[in-house]
């Protein structure tokens, strides 16, 4: 029986997002084991973040932390916190596009 | 009084909660004092809830909640004869925030007969004081912001400088039992006393970063406070709730929280470097950390935060349940924006750039907007219209023009007027001034204390 499509969010312990100060946003994928960490590590690139969040890939900082099985991505907030068009004051719901990415 | 006998072997820091007013159990304090706390440190603010609190100079936390927490902390500081340090008073760290917390502290000391010397440290920076520094090219942008101009400084309703540990240490050395500080780096609140007592900067700053959010570094972040003991080689950390644990992963992972870079963090006087830190479990709920470093910077810098009025806002809310509209909700939104823009131009004769609208379709794509890839047809949608204008009267007027559209706007293909579900009467709420963060800059200073003003009040009893 073929497996159902798996998203990064399905595999992860947690995928989360948050402000890192008013001008930056940061995303983290916490993976449960080395195998799923390797999947996340290969999947999450500056190009992927650039495409999902419509930010320049050169502005994305990536941190790969095998000891914690975490991949972290930070980039300048396209919309400054609290401005008229900011709909997510704490950037706490912006993990969803990353969590919805299908894993190979 | 400053100890004349040289540095102690270790300094214990009690952090009862991530935010003054956040609440904690009295047992949290009892437990921390039993572990030999040498200081109580607690954060009172943050930018995380947005620019309003700094811009308006009011606190996010409730008066009664701050009063309740402060009463327990002042009693503990008094009975154990250890200092209490509160950073970023009143959320934004404005002078009004420091005075607000100080007034509460004074009232409690008077009511409870506590004889404590309270120091206030003000961190607000008038634009007039900063303009010569801008002129002298001593103010620099942090990424991703651009160079500062004088007009931006003058626009700010409030500007604060983020103090390091030095102004707090100055107050403690002058005899303060309680230090109520304006805007302070989250870490300096916890680091100040340990640094003053001669603990090494690497472990001290790293420990301060880990404990700044209280229980966030534990396996049960909602459970409350933490206790860190810093010594000459590293630090150990444990939760104050006996049923909660710190694990190497929960402690190490806290460096990820709300940080751009999990390995290095800039403080006013240098950089915390934790790439070489080793986290080991001492027992099932206590973690030992060694190998953290602090690299002093060539230039001491004070970060500025500033909030300016971005406009005056009115918010309106209506609900749509009709499946026919919901199947074409993008088309409806486009039609709405076009109709409102036309009405504003013809009735109010406002120039296009002088006002703004944000139409949010909650239940459809409000939160992620264009980042939402394939939103499904929703069962119902909450339509929020946020209007921004140069004064409140105009924002209200625009919202009144929007009202019939939020009630009746049909799809272009419909030949009758639907009626939508207003949630309240009136359907709009004036929000008053709205603010935006406009500073992300640092000032080169000659002295860590020169931008901050210390006021001491002797005890009451």
Closest chain A residue to B388, measured at CA = A84
pLDDT at res. B3 = 52
B252 touches chain A (CB under 8 A): yes
Mean per-residue pLDDT, B193-198: 98
Distance (Å, rounded) from C-alpha B191 to C-alpha B167?
12
pLDDT at res. A1 = 47
Mean per-residue pLDDT, A78-86: 93
pLDDT at res. B224 = 81
The residues with which B436 forms a beta bridge, in sequence order, are: B308
- Average pLDDT of chain B? 96
pLDDT in tens, B346-400: 999 999 999 999 999 999 999 999 999 878 999 999 999 999 999 999 999 999 9
Contacts of B436 in chain A (CB under 8 A): 80, 82-83
Q: Of the candidates A63, A88, A96, which has its C-beta nearest B261's C-beta?
A: A63
Instruction: Measure Cα distances from B350 to B286, B324, B376, B395 in Å.
Output: 63, 34, 36, 11
Decide if pLDDT at B231 tops 60.
Answer: yes
pLDDT at res. B1 = 47
Interface of B with A in 343-372 (CB under 8 A): 356, 358, 360, 366-371
- Local confidence band at A18 (pLDDT 50, 70, 90 cut-offs): very high
Interface of B with A in 294-313 (CB under 8 A): 310-311, 313
B435 touches chain A (CB under 8 A): yes
Percent of chain B with pLDDT over 70: 98
Residues in chain B: 461
- Local confidence band at B459 (pLDDT 50, 70, 90 cut-offs): low
Buried b (16+ CB within 10 A) or exposed e, B20-33: bbbebbeebbebbb
- Local confidence band at A56 (pLDDT 50, 70, 90 cut-offs): very high
- Local confidence band at A82 (pLDDT 50, 70, 90 cut-offs): very high
- Local confidence band at B221 (pLDDT 50, 70, 90 cut-offs): confident
Is B274 buried (19+), middle (13-18) or exposed (0-12) by CB count in 10 A? buried
SS3 call for B307:
strand
CB atoms B256 and A26 under 8 Å: yes
**Do B213 and B204 form a contact (C-beta atoms < 8 A)?**
no
- Local confidence band at B461 (pLDDT 50, 70, 90 cut-offs): very low
Calculate how close chain A gets to B142, using CA atoms only, in Å. 10
- B226-231 and B234-239 beta bridge pairing: antiparallel
- Average pLDDT of chain A? 95
Decide if pLDDT at B227 tops 60.
Answer: yes
Mean per-residue pLDDT, B290-319: 98
- Could you tell me which of B23, B53, B41 has the C-alpha nearest to residue B86? B41
CB atoms B261 and A93 under 8 Å: no
pLDDT in tens, B385-416: 999 999 999 999 999 999 999 999 999 999 99
pLDDT in tens, B326-337: 999 999 999 999
Distance (Å, rounded) from C-alpha B223 to C-alpha B244?
7
pLDDT in tens, B67-85: 999 999 999 999 999 999 9
**What's the pTM?**
0.96
pLDDT in tens, B120-168: 999 999 999 999 999 999 999 999 999 999 999 999 999 999 999 999 9
Q: Of the candidates A30, A54, A74, which has its C-beta nearest B260's C-beta?
A: A74
Left, alpha or beta for B422 (phi > 0: left; psi -120 to 50: alpha)?
beta
Find which of B148, B157, B256 to mutate to test the A interface (most A CBs within 10 Å of its CB).
B256
Q: Which tokens hold the place of B58?
A: 């009011």
Distance (Å, rounded) from C-alpha B122 to C-alpha B96?
9
Q: Strands, E, within B126-169: which ranges?
A: 139-141, 156-161
Mean per-residue pLDDT, B208-217: 92
Distance (Å, rounded) from C-alpha B306 to C-alpha B57?
11
- Could you tell me which of B13, B21, B25 has the C-alpha nearest to residue B241? B25
Give B331-335 contacts, CB < 8 A, sequence gap 24+.
B331/B411, B331/B412, B332/B409, B332/B411, B333/B359, B333/B361, B335/B409, B335/B411, B335/B412
User: In the A/B pair of chains, how many CB contacts fall below 8 A?
Assistant: 100
Is B374 buried (19+), middle (13-18) or exposed (0-12) by CB count in 10 A? exposed
Left, alpha or beta for B48 (phi > 0: left; psi -120 to 50: alpha)?
alpha
- Local confidence band at B4 (pLDDT 50, 70, 90 cut-offs): low
Distance (Å, rounded) from C-alpha B68 to C-alpha B56?
24
Interface of A with B in 77-96 (CB under 8 A): 80-85, 87-90, 93-94, 96
B47 touches chain A (CB under 8 A): yes
- Could you tell me which of B54, B49, B264 has the C-alpha nearest to residue B158? B54
B290 touches chain A (CB under 8 A): no
């Amino acid at each position: 029986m073929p497996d159902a499509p798996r998203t990064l969010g399905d595999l992860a312990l947690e995928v989360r997002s948050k402000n890192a100060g008013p001008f930056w946003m940061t995303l983290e994928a916490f993976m449960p084991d080395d195998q799923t960490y390797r999947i996340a590590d290969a999947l999450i690139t500056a190009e992927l973040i650039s495409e999902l969040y419509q930010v320049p890939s050169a502005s994305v900082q990536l941190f790969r932390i095998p000891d914690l099985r975490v991949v972290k991505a930070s980039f300048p907030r396209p919309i400054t916190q609290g401005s008229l068009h900011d709909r997510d004051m704490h950037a706490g719901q912006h993990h969803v596009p990353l969590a919805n990415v299908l894993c190979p | 009084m400053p100890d004349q006998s040289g540095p102690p072997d270790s300094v214990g820091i009690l952090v009862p909660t991530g935010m003054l007013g956040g609440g904690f159990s009295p047992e949290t304090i009892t437990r921390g004092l039993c572990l030999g706390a040498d200081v109580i440190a607690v954060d009172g603010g943050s930018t995380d809830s947005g620019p309003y609190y700094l811009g308006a100079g009011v606190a996010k936390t409730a008066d009664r909640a701050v009063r309740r927490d402060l009463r327990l902390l002042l009693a503990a500081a008094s009975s154990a004869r250890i200092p209490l340090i509160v950073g970023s008073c009143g959320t934004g760290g404005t002078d009004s925030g420091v005075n607000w917390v100080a007034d509460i502290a004074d009232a409690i000391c008077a009511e409870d007969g506590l004889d404590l010397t309270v120091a206030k440290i003000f961190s607000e920076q008038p634009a007039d004081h900063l303009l010569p520094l801008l002129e002298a090219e001593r103010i620099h942008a942090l990424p991703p912001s651009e160079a500062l101009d004088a007009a931006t400084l003058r626009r700010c309703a409030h500007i604060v400088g983020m103090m390091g540990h030095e102004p707090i240490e100055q107050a403690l050395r002058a005899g303060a039992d309680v230090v109520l500080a304006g805007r302070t780096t989250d870490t300096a609140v916890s680091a100040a006393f340990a640094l003053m007592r001669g603990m090494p900067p690497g472990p001290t700053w790293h420990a301060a970063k880990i404990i700044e959010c209280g229980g966030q570094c534990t396996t049960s972040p909602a459970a409350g406070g933490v206790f860190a003991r810093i010594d000459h080689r590293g630090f150990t950390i444990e939760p104050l709730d006996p049923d909660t644990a710190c694990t190497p992963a929960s402690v190490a992972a806290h460096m990820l929280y709300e940080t751009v870079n999990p390995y290095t963090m800039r403080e006013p006087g240098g950089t915390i470097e934790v790439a070489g830190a080793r986290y080991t479990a001492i027992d099932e709920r206590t973690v030992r950390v060694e190998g953290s470093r602090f690299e002093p910077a060539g230039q001491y810098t004070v970060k500025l935060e500033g909030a300016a009025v971005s406009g005056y806002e009115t918010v309106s809310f209506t609900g749509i349940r009709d499946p026919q509209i919901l199947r074409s909700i993008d088309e409806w939104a486009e039609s709405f924006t076009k109709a409102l823009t036309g009405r504003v131009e013809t009735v109010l004769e406002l120039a296009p750039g002088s006002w703004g609208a944000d139409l949010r379709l909650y239940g459809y794509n409000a939160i992620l907007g264009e980042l939402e890839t394939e939103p499904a047809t929703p069962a119902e949608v909450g339509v929020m219209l946020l209007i921004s204008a140069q004064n409140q009267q105009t924002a209200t007027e625009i919202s009144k023009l929007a009202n019939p559209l939020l009630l009746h706007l049909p799809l272009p293909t419909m030949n009758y007027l639907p009626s939508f579900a207003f949630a309240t009467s009136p359907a709009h709420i004036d929000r008053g001034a709205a603010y935006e963060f406009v500073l992300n800059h640092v000032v080169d200073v000659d002295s860590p204390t020169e931008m901050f003003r210390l006021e001491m009040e002797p005890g009451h009893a």
